Structure 1
Amino acid sequence: MKHLVVKKKSKRKDHPSLDIVSSHGVELSGKKIVLCVAGSVAAYKAIELARLLMRHGADVTCVTSNAVTKLIQPEYFKWATGNEVITKLTGELEHIRLADYNQSDLLIVYPATANTLGKLANGIDDTPVSTVLTVGFGSKIPILMCLAMHASMYENSAVKKNIEFLKNKIEFLSPKLIEGKAKSPEPEDVLENVLKKFGFASILKNKKVLMTAGPTVEQIDPVRAITNHSSGKTGVSLATELISAGAKVTFVYGPGKEKPPKGAKIINVSSSKEMHLAIKSELKKKFDIVIMAAAVADYVPIIQSKNKIKSSKSRITISLKKAPKIIDQVKKYQKNVLLVGFKAETNLTKNQLIKSAEKKLKESTADMIIANDVGSMRYKKNSQKNQVIIVDSKKNIVSRWMDKEKIAKFIRKQIEVKIK
């Protein structure tokens, strides 16, 4: 008689949170990642990061400091990952099991405080996080440190010294300097960095992108001009996103207030005519994507006075003429390029905004139009957020109300979908 042997599954395999593993991809399948969570209010984002890594196949174990457990209960990290959370070191030698030679594929410190940074740089290991990092540092396991602290701490000479000492030994993911704080990178940025580390580059890598941003200035006379309130912020943010994804960006920039994006080829222009000529000239070369994000003047003076118009008159008349729409010419200069346009409106309903975007899409033969309402009461009450509606040539419509910080990332993802 044969005996039926039933193998009892481990709790690890039964954990419901593991249902999400590889749901978005298998790039990190088989990779063991240790997520070290230091004592920062940004620690709550580590939950999201753990889940993103798992969705791409990773096996994630969290190590927390005592400070973190006062902010977030360890059971939350266990729920997120399906693994036991390391909150203290015991006779099980957790630091060796996780960070000794070849025990893990990557150690991520998210968020990384000035305190944690200093301990790693100076060989201090008096917490579970610092001890795991000390072992991993010695065993040459790659370490990715995502800093988060006040800007004044980030500028502290001791902190800079520690970064300088470690910069060629571990990898840093730069914080975002916002509101006087060096804020930790978004979880999506960390995921992207990790995927690159394991050889999975963004679909935008090496894509050639031609982009406009900022306002244009149309001279009335040598000292007076017609312009608009565009700061160039959205365009600069989007260009930065594309550059981070490996794209080669040529940035035709009107006189915006934002600093131009690092890593791009910058072409400074002033008027709509100069912008048009720059686009026409650049499109003699092959580009994959053209993004028209500039707030280009719709009307320009018919006559530009060579001398300053005297202020002695009580009234003057300035005649304007309609400026050519640059976006309408792009497909004539380069037929097969992916063309993305922007459409700003004021005080429209959502349906009206969609119709406006669809009209613009048809007129310009663009592949995608990104529309937003910059005059609505909702926007005026909370100018840090905006409604973004994306309409494409297949009549797909995507709409989001979100923080301006995240709009560029959202648009970038929609562009990636288009070029797959």
Structure 2
Amino acid sequence: MAAKKKIIKEKNHPSLDIVSSYGVELSGKKIVLCVAGSVAAYKAIELARLLMRHGADVRCVTSDAVTKLVQPDYFKWATGNAVITKLTGELEHIKLADYNQSDLIIVYPATANTLGKLANGIDDTPVSTVLTVGFGSKIPILMCLAMHASMYENAAVKKNVEFLKNKIEFLSPQQTEGKAKATEPEDVLDYVLKKFGFSSILKNKKVLITAGPTIEYIDPVRIITNQSSGKTGMLLASELISSGAKVTLVYGPGSEKPPKGVKLIKISTSNEIFNVVKKEMQNKFDIVIMTAAISDYIPENPSKNKIKSSKNKIKISLKKTPKIINFIKKYQKNVFLVGFKAEANIPKNELISLAKKKMIESNADMIIANDIGSKRYKKNPESNEILIIDSNRVISSGWMKKEKIAKLIIKEIENKIKT
């Protein structure tokens, strides 16, 4: 009778009230969350809650090292389930990881030690034993590595990753501040949703995206350009590919690597991008996103020969280029059009006013505006603050990493096209 009461109590744990509050995509899925001894262990709480909010039943397994960083009761509070901190005669590892007992095992964060134990069949902790059983019973394992960059580059660690890479799944760590940091919980959630067949609004949508700078020739060796790296465009393209969209990427000479899965068209000049976009629009798209930093002015009469450096002074006459975005709705009236508006050192209300003016001129459905002249941006160009502007509202992202900004933009596009 006492055991029965205990089961009822855990079933009605208040934390279970959040289950499926965001969606039912993971409803009925049993997910084992193995938490290894890394300072990133506290983020496992957030991951567990995200998985639950989409319907999952989450059970946590921790190592002794983790309990010194995060109290086990915290994991029980988060999931509403008892936390496994040691293995007993109840055979917890079999109940969780034997054949068909769970749908997925996530190791978050995954240390070099945990990786090595799985690769070499060592099971001397609750986490490593659950992984050994799950590995043998073919339960899918997702490992989210986190460690110092030097450890990640260690030949033995690389050997273990190589051995396991076709047997389990990995989410690559974020290389920053000399560390290979664990993937953010939101990114793990996205991966899990896609793994279980989450049907994105963007699946099979045809998207044309422009990215990067253009270059304009003064003479055969000298150019006018800008400092755009193309990173935001690459991140958006990557998010679109992950969502199942069919992406055509028109990319200027930026410094970022295009994601796998796009149809890549490389261009150099504003004239080239104009001609490519005009031609591609014949294929009909669902969405067009114009992130490219296209030159507003180009040399009127570029020299066919290299201008001699012996001259003390030269004059270059520039002419205005056509705004490509203004032609998109003329090529295809029903396409969802997203434009970008970058300004420097202007008040927020003026930025909004200029963005709305651009939206009217181009008949765009959404404009992403930002100020790239601020000291904060120049000091840390990996982060930004944007304004998402449409006909009804203005949304401020706040200061955040460009990776999160890309996710926010995609989310807003999804919200608009589904209504």
Identify the TM-score tier after normalising by the shorter chain: over 0.9
1:111 counterpart = 2:109? yes
Equivalent residue runs for 1:158-169 within 5 Å: 158-169=156-167
TM-fit CA distance, 1:382? 4.4
Cross-structure match for 1:62: 60
Cross-structure match for 2:218: 220
Q: Match of 1:257, SS?
A: coil
TM-fit CA distance, 1:164? 2.8
Aligned mates of 1:338, 1:297 — CA distance in 2 = 23
Aligned mates of 1:270, 1:223 — CA distance in 2 = 14
TM-fit CA distance, 1:31? 1.5
TM-fit CA distance, 1:136? 1.4
TM-fit CA distance, 1:102? 2.3
Which of 73, 76, 82 lines up with 1:75 in the alignment? Answer: 73
Cross-structure match for 2:174: 176
Residues 250 and 380 from structure 1, CA distance in 2 versus in 1: closer, same or farther, beyond 3 angstroms?
A: same
Cross-structure match for 2:384: 386
Cross-structure match for 1:407: 405
Cross-structure match for 1:355: 353
Q: Match of 1:408, SS?
A: helix
Which of 395, 398, 407 lines up with 2:395 in the alignment? Answer: 398
Aligned mates of 2:402, 2:28 — CA distance in 1 = 36
**Which shifted more, 367-376 or 377-386?**
377-386
Aligned mates of 1:154, 1:103 — CA distance in 2 = 32
TM-fit CA distance, 1:327? 0.7
- What TM-score, normalized to structure 1? 0.93
TM-fit CA distance, 1:52? 0.8
Aligned mates of 2:176, 2:264 — CA distance in 1 = 24
TM-fit CA distance, 1:407? 1.5
1:373 counterpart = 2:387? no
Equivalent residue runs for 1:245-394 within 5 Å: 245-392=243-390, 394=391
TM-fit CA distance, 1:8? 9.5
TM-fit CA distance, 1:396? 2.1
TM-fit CA distance, 1:380? 3.8
Q: How many residues align?
A: 413
Aligned mates of 2:379, 2:223 — CA distance in 1 = 30
Q: Match of 2:289, SS?
A: strand
Equivalent residue runs for 1:166-245 within 5 Å: 166-245=164-243
Q: Considering only aligned residues, what root-mean-square deviation do their CA atoms show, in Å? A: 1.9
Q: Match of 2:282, SS?
A: coil
**Which shifted more, 376-385 or 302-311?**
376-385
Q: Match of 2:159, SS?
A: helix
Aligned mates of 2:417, 2:157 — CA distance in 1 = 41
TM-fit CA distance, 1:184? 2.1
Q: 1:181-210: CA deviations, max 9, x gaps? A: 333222222212222222223222222211
Q: Match of 1:63, SS?
A: strand
Aligned mates of 1:122, 1:378 — CA distance in 2 = 47
Residues 262 and 309 from structure 1, CA distance in 2 versus in 1: closer, same or farther, beyond 3 angstroms?
A: same
Equivalent residue runs for 1:135-146 within 5 Å: 135-146=133-144
TM-fit CA distance, 1:365? 0.8
- Runs (4+) of structure 1 exceeding 4 A deviation are none
Whichever residue aligns with residue 284 of structure 1, its letter is Q
Whichever residue aligns with residue 144 of structure 1, its letter is L
Cross-structure match for 1:13: 11
TM-fit CA distance, 1:9? 8.3
Residues 197 and 404 from structure 1, CA distance in 2 versus in 1: closer, same or farther, beyond 3 angstroms?
A: closer
Q: 1:152-192: CA deviations, max 9, x gaps? A: 33333322332233233222223333344333222222212
- What TM-score, normalized to structure 2? 0.93
Aligned mates of 1:346, 1:265 — CA distance in 2 = 32
Cross-structure match for 1:90: 88
Cross-structure match for 1:3: none
Whichever residue aligns with residue 228 of structure 1, its letter is N
Q: Match of 1:188, SS?
A: helix
Cross-structure match for 2:26: 28
Percent of aligned pairs with the same amino acid: 77
Q: Match of 2:397, SS?
A: strand
Aligned mates of 1:373, 1:103 — CA distance in 2 = 52
Aligned mates of 1:274, 1:320 — CA distance in 2 = 18
Q: 1:77-96: CA deviations, max 9, x gaps? A: 11211111111112222212
**Which shifted more, 378-387 or 306-315?**
378-387
Whichever residue aligns with residue 86 of structure 1, its letter is I
Aligned mates of 1:225, 1:267 — CA distance in 2 = 21
